[in-house]
Structure formats: C-alpha cells, structure tokens
Amino acid sequence: MTRDGRLLRGERTRSAVLEQALVLATVSGLDGLSLSQVADALGVSKSGLFAHWRSKEALQLAVIDQARVQWTDRVIRPALTAPAGVRRLWAVHDRRIAFYEARVLPGGCFFANAHFEFNARPGPVRDRLAAQQTDWMTFLTGLASDAVALGDLRPDADPATLAYQTEAVGICAVMQASVLGPETTYRQARRALLGHLRAITTDPTILPELS
C-alpha cells in the first residue's frame, strides 16, 4: 500500500488531514488554502487528497466543518459541564479565551478570520460560514435565556443583547491579542464579561470574583 493510501485511509486520518488544513487556513487564509499546500505540509501527493476533495471549494467547506467540530470539542462541550444558567454562559466565554490562549491555531480564530475574508463574497463558503455563525449566536442566546428563566439574571436582561456582548468581547480579544499582547488582552476579556455578568446577576457569589 502506498504512503498516500496509508495516510488517507479511514475517517480518523481524514480528520487529521483536515486538522492540518485548518491550521494552515488560519495562517494563509481560507482562500489561500489549496490541496497542493496541504499535501506539501503533510508530505504526500496532491492526488491522494484529490480522491477526498475534488475542488478547492470542497476542501474549504470541509475545513469549516472541521473547525466547528474542533470548537465544539474544545469550547462548547467542556463548558456544558458547568451548571445551567449564568455559570454556563460564563464557562463558554472562559473556555473560548482559554482556547485562544493555548494557541491551538497559530492564526488566532479560524471563524473570525474566515468571516472577515468571505463576508462580501457570496457563494457556498460564505453561506456555510453564515450558517455556523447563526447557530453560534442562537446557542449563546439560548444560554442567556436559560440564565434569565432560572432566575440567575435580572428579568430585564435581554438574552439577544447579552449574546451579542459576549461574542463582541470574544472577537475583540482574539483580534487584539497579537497587537496588544495576549496576557493583558485575555485578562481584560475575562474581566469585561465577568464584570458585566456580576452586575446583572441576582447572586454575584455564584460567579468568580474579578481579578
């Protein structure tokens, strides 16, 4: 069996290829990603990859889906172990910042970069990114709604606005970290949302202290 055949055998290996493509996309851009670039990084032939993704667009769409799996595994799933309500909303933000701090992706945030890159470019890639963003904001809004319903947040707290604020702090943090420094930026990102949540919660003691 050829090296390419061994490399591309099975779903596990396919995911490994997509993980490498995901890393490259945060550095070169999703539009700059190509089968040749991924093949070179993995030390295999382009033809071995072509059997799985027959076009650049097919690879781009697969990378978006892989990024979503990674985000779920590294951010969402760990945060869901926190108690429902405001503590779970905070846990999502905290895990997101921890994901950025770990520099899993050298280019920062795949989704932030890709949205800026394709925002004004209609087509399947933009549509897939838009669907992901819609699902993410729906998820954040749902967490905020649960926090209100459970009595963790004041009744006048607007879930959609809180979801927007949470996303805005996260995006701002990852975009500024490389310029202003990660330690200061990510500390401020945690303080910004935590301070706001403590101000509107009915019981600030269930949230961490500001540090």
The total number of residues shown for the chain amounts to: 211
User: What pLDDT is attached to residue 26?
Assistant: 93
User: What pLDDT is attached to residue 37?
Assistant: 79
- Bridge partners, 153 (sequence order): 201
- Bridge partners, 201 (sequence order): 153
- pLDDT, tens digit (0-9, with 9 covering 90-100), for 164-204: 999 999 999 999 999 999 999 999 999 999 999 999 999 99
pTM of the model: 0.90
Is 157's pLDDT higher than 70? yes
CA distances from 44 to 8, 14, 36, 48 (A): 10, 13, 9, 7
Supply 169's token pair: 């702090």
Residue 150 backbone dihedrals phi, psi, to 5 degrees: -80, -5
User: What pLDDT is attached to residue 1?
Assistant: 44
